Structure 1
Amino acid sequence: MNELDSALLKILIKDARISFADIARQLNVSRAYARARVQALVEEGVIEKFTAVVNPEKLGKTISMFVDLKVSPQEIEKVAEELAALPEVVSLYIMSDLRSLHIHTLTDSHEGFDRFAKDHIFGRPEIISVECNSLLKRVKHRRGGARL
């Protein structure tokens, strides 16, 4: 990757629907070159996918919770896959100690989160401990993807 590719990625992070002609104008390159570089970045796996960023509050998902679980190491992959498949789970990470999951959930109410926790976390013998925090205020977030 060079400086032009970095500039190209910054443009796409801001607006993945931008036309190749507009990318070319901003980078002072041809439309064909812009298209070829985007395609190359996709093929190389630098760009994994193009997606929409949805405002969860506009969909009534106003309760943002961060859940940290300690899980029996032999069960961590299974628990991670099961929880990741749930609609309430926005993101889920297996942490470097290989027994912790860091989970971000979005629900429409505290009752909705309580149902989620009761149905999918509490009472599971492979989950050793649970810590949970509610989002108070967003200061900086990755809307639109990583910043380069």
Structure 2
Amino acid sequence: MSHPPLPTDLGLSKLDSALLNILVKNGRASFAELARHLGISRAHARARVQALQANGVIELFAAVINPEKLGQVNSTFLDLVVTPAAIERVAQELADCPEVVSLYIMSDLRSLHVHALTENAASFEAFVHRHVFNRPEIVSVDCKTLLTRVKNRRGGARL
């Protein structure tokens, strides 16, 4: 899967953008590989990566795990409407659940968008019984299970 190039209007030099594009595709690229691709010294590549880390542009290097290889094949998206007074508490409680792989508080300040990964429909049902059902602060639920993954973002800029 190819990633779009990072925008250069973020105050990044062309060299830093090129470096980040390589790292998005291969976070394990060595300083020597980066230097070779970019036509710079290995020391310069290391210095640029360290500067990008120090400035918070690179937050972390992480492994991208294929959930299907771990038996997590049921991918479900929930849109929850929560009473505004409880939204941060509910968001944190759900974020602490191992089934929840991403969770966002939306701009209306009363909606949560949740992505859950479970082994099957029964384990998803157990998750919602434990953490969603019978909670008066959750006003409504819209739930959809992934049918086919056409494109997904693995790594890259959080823009």
Q: TM-score, normalised by structure 2?
A: 0.91
Residue 32 of structure 1 pairs with residue 48 of structure 2: no
Aligned 8 A contact 1:10 1:147 in 2: no
AA aligned to 1:44 is N
- Cα distance in 1 for residues equivalent to 2:106 and 2:38: 38
Residue 82 of structure 1 pairs with residue 93 of structure 2: yes
Query: CA shift at 1:144, angstroms?
Result: 3.0
The count of residues paired between Structure 1 and Structure 2 equals: 148
Residue 107 of structure 1 pairs with residue 156 of structure 2: no
Question: Which runs of 5 or more structure 1 residues have no equivalent in the other structure?
Answer: none
What are the equivalent positions in structure 2 for 1:54-65 lying under 5 Å apart? 54-65=65-76
Report the counterpart of residue 3 of structure 2 in structure 1: none
- Cα distance in 2 for residues equivalent to 1:32 and 1:147: 27
Query: In the superposition, relative to structure 1, how do residues 48 and 147 fare at CA in structure 2: closer, same or farther (>3 Å)?
Result: closer
- Cα distance in 2 for residues equivalent to 1:34 and 1:147: 22
Query: In the superposition, relative to structure 1, how do residues 140 and 94 fare at CA in structure 2: closer, same or farther (>3 Å)?
Result: same
Structure 1: 4+ residue segments shifted above 6 A: none
Deviations 1:98-123 (Å, cap 9, x if unpaired)?
A: 00000000000100000000000000
Query: CA shift at 1:143, angstroms?
Result: 1.6
Greater relative contact order (Cα < 8 A, sep 6+): 1
Identity %, equivalent residues: 64
- Cα distance in 1 for residues equivalent to 2:48 and 2:70: 35
SS class of match (1:106): strand
Residue 45 of structure 1 pairs with residue 56 of structure 2: yes
